[in-house]
Chains A and B, each alone.
Chain A
Amino acid sequence: MRFIFDSNTWQEIFGSIGKNRTRTIITIIGVLWGIFIYIALSGAAKGLDNGFEEQFENVAMNSLFTWAQTTSMPYEGFKTGRPLQLKLSDVTVLENRIPEIQYIAPRNVKGVFGGSPGLIVRGTKSGNYNVYGDYPVYTKIATKKIYDGGRFINDKDIELTRKVCVIGERTQKELYEKEENPIGTFLRIDNIYFQVVGVHKFTPGGGFESDSDIYIPFTTYRKLYNTGDDVGWLTIAAYDDADVVQVEKDVKAILKSIHRVDPRDERAFGSFNLGEIFTRISGFANGLTFMSLVVGIATILAGVIGIGNILLISVKERTKELGVRRALGATPREVKAQIILESVFLTMIAGIMGIILGAITLYGINLGTEDLDFPYTNPTVPIPYVLGALVIMVVLGTLIGLIPAQRAVSIKPIDALREE
């Protein structure tokens, strides 16, 4: 230890390294490049991962949507091409028969899948906005942030078929004055007066929803638009430990049996499995992280081997100097330690520079993608990974340094002195 903290040791290391500056710099670049690639790649992978997570942060990760289409196979006397319609009663059946379902929310909308959006009028201002019929349970699957003072639709609203609505940020901006509080005010949705009970904050990502959507109780919706027991689509969240893909299959199978559709008919019900897609995306990000680890370590290894190579040459060049040192009383251990320390020092310098460069690059990418609609947020490399990389480099630097160090002491001092 005394050895490491002795200024003479370091002076000697700088002395021998500084002898051939160009060569040292080129050598360092090898390792620097390796750690740079490792940091930049794994940071970018983490950024993508974070970005995707942000996209889906307001939707349950293990949720899926399903809707009715038209049959593509004749079955039980029904001809092919029969249009299907989900019914409210399907919800109860699904809930009872699939225990993996945690929440299930039937939804209806006016204005998204064909049809015109609702006409919303307030005083002299008006606009066309999508109107959703919802149950309170929907917020368990996709969180809706409601501004202070307001609320989402609740069970009482459903029960009493209340004419209340939750409006979007943009709706508020377009129909209200700046300082006006919309809570408690009334507006006309397709000629029926509704009281505003909340304003929801728009969170980007996750489907077709926007900052101008209006939510009203499901029961009010069916009266308003005369939809009876019809359900537009189902939003289903499975328990965290459930297999979402299997739940999706079960849901479709049960719906097929209820609606008397051929079990082999793949086109009768459509679905979108967020859980599956999310698993795929996070698998992709994990793969990217793993790849950056492999590529980074391989490049670091190549760089470290380069350092070992250069030190071998440098030892050869310094044979005489090392001979002098040994004639003056340097033990083989001291000579070895010095060369290993040189190796480790070069590796560390290269590593730290690489980490700094990598961090700057990540910072640059982050700045560049900040305003873009690209799932990339806050690229980071966990500190333990960075420290781990440094440890690996020290270990590799030591191991590779052993080769030239051994070479340095394998020559007898007398032969070393004779070298010209």
Chain B
Amino acid sequence: MIEIKDLHKSYKMGKNSLHVLKGINFSVEEGELVAIMGSSGSGKSTLLNILGMLDVLDEGSYSLDKVPIINLNETKAAQYRNKFLGFVFQSFNLINYKTALENVALPLYYQRVGRKERNIKALKYLEQVGLKEWATHLPNELSGGQKQRVAIARAMAAEPKVLLADEPTGALDSKTSYEVMDLIQKINDSGNTILIVTHEPDIANMCKRVVHLKDGVIVEDKKITQVRASQYVQ
């Protein structure tokens, strides 16, 4: 699904150049649930941004579902993001003047799906995350966990190849974190590829594979036995 070869990325900070990613080789198969771990500054967010086509790589190659991601202009990148990727952010990033349903329907709007179909689909995904009754509520009427579940529904609505989650539980208490992880695991169970950036070991342990990043290189990449989040959820 994801193929990364010899990826380098550096940022220019005035005269100095900060080498963030120093030769990453990394691949993800379909249906995997991968946790990318590392302390801050290890380059894990940069890696996720490059995977999410929000940032461009300096050297190396990246292909997503056998499509080489190279020389993207903004328009092309936006279309690829829309088609291939779903994003879940730490701070949810819901649009606050839109209801939960409208937020979920937004990627479909950019896919030029008709309004009726859009709403039917969006409602289906809201139901999947257990928030059907909250469809007409604005984000500020939802709890943090509910917001993140709406965000996950929004990321899923476009039926992406890969779901990218940047610290999805970072702003949640542990109980709601587990609820969200439970949801992510269920989505993964139905065959979706998911990448999670996190620095919480208990969240990482709920994935199937953990990749450790340190100072721009992968120091550890191992498959683990998944801890099911459902056992923590009543």
Contacts and interface: CB of A to CB of B under 8 A. Distances in A.
A54 to B, nearest CB: 55
Interface string A393-420: 0000000000000000100111001000
Contact of A6 (B78, B107, B115): B115
Interface in A184-240: none
Contact of B75 (A325, A327, A333, A412): A333
Contacts of B95: 15, 321, 324-325
A392 interface: no
Contacts of B87: 327-328
A6 B114 CA distance: 9
Contacts of A328: 81-82, 87, 106-107, 110, 154, 158
Contacts of B55: 412, 414
A22 interface: no
B26 interface: no
- Name the residue among B49, B54, B158 with the largest chain A CB count within 10 angstroms: B54
A8 B97 contact: no
Given A321-B95, A324-B93, A331-B79, 5 more contacts: A328-B106, A330-B110, A331-B78, A331-B110, A414-B54
9 contacts: A6-B115, A328-B106, A328-B158, A329-B111, A331-B74, A333-B75, A413-B54, A417-B54, A417-B93
B167 interface: no
B5 interface: no
Contacts of B78: 326, 329-332
Nearest to A19: B97
Interface in A334-369: 334
A11 B109 CA distance: 12
Contacts of B98: 11, 15
A320 interface: yes
A337 B55 CA distance: 24
A333 B89 CA distance: 24
B199 interface: no
Contacts of A327: 52, 54, 81, 87, 93
Nearest to A335: B78
Contact of B83 (A2, A11, A329): A329
B115 A331 contact: no
B65 to A, nearest CB: 16
A126 interface: no
Nearest to A318: B95
A350 B7 CA distance: 53
B102 interface: yes
A16 interface: yes
Given A324-B95, A329-B83, A331-B78, A8 B109 contact: yes
Given A6-B115, A414-B55, A332 B74 contact: yes
A7 interface: yes
A18 interface: yes
Contacts of A7: 115
Contacts of A15: 95, 97-98
B211 to A, nearest CB: 21
A329 B97 contact: no
Interface in B128-176: 154, 158
Contacts of A320: 93
Contact of A334 (B54, B93, B110): B110
Contacts of A324: 89, 93, 95
B49 A329 contact: no
Contacts of A414: 49, 54-55
A414 B74 CA distance: 12
Contacts of B82: 328-329
In the A-B complex, the 7 residue pairs with the closest CB atoms:
A329-B82, A15-B97, A329-B110, A414-B54, A331-B78, A324-B93, A331-B75
B92 to A, nearest CB: 10
Interface string B106-125: 11011110010000000000
Interface in A1-53: 2, 6-8, 11, 15-16, 18-19
Given A409-B74, A412-B54, A329 B107 contact: yes
B93 A329 contact: no
A329 B87 CA distance: 10
A254 to B, nearest CB: 82
A7 B79 CA distance: 22
A164 to B, nearest CB: 83
A336 to B, nearest CB: 11
Contacts of B97: 15-16, 18-19
A417 to B, nearest CB: 7
A286 B75 CA distance: 52
Contacts of A325: 95, 106, 110
B140 to A, nearest CB: 13
Interface string A113-139: 000000000000000000000000000
Nearest to A327: B87
Nearest to A414: B54
A328 B55 CA distance: 14
A331 B97 CA distance: 21
A417 B89 contact: yes
B108 to A, nearest CB: 9
A334 B75 CA distance: 9
Nearest to B94: A324
Contacts of A2: 112
Contact of A329 (B89, B102, B105, B158): B158
B29 to A, nearest CB: 24
Nearest to A3: B112
Contacts of B81: 326-329
A330 B81 CA distance: 9
A327 to B, nearest CB: 5
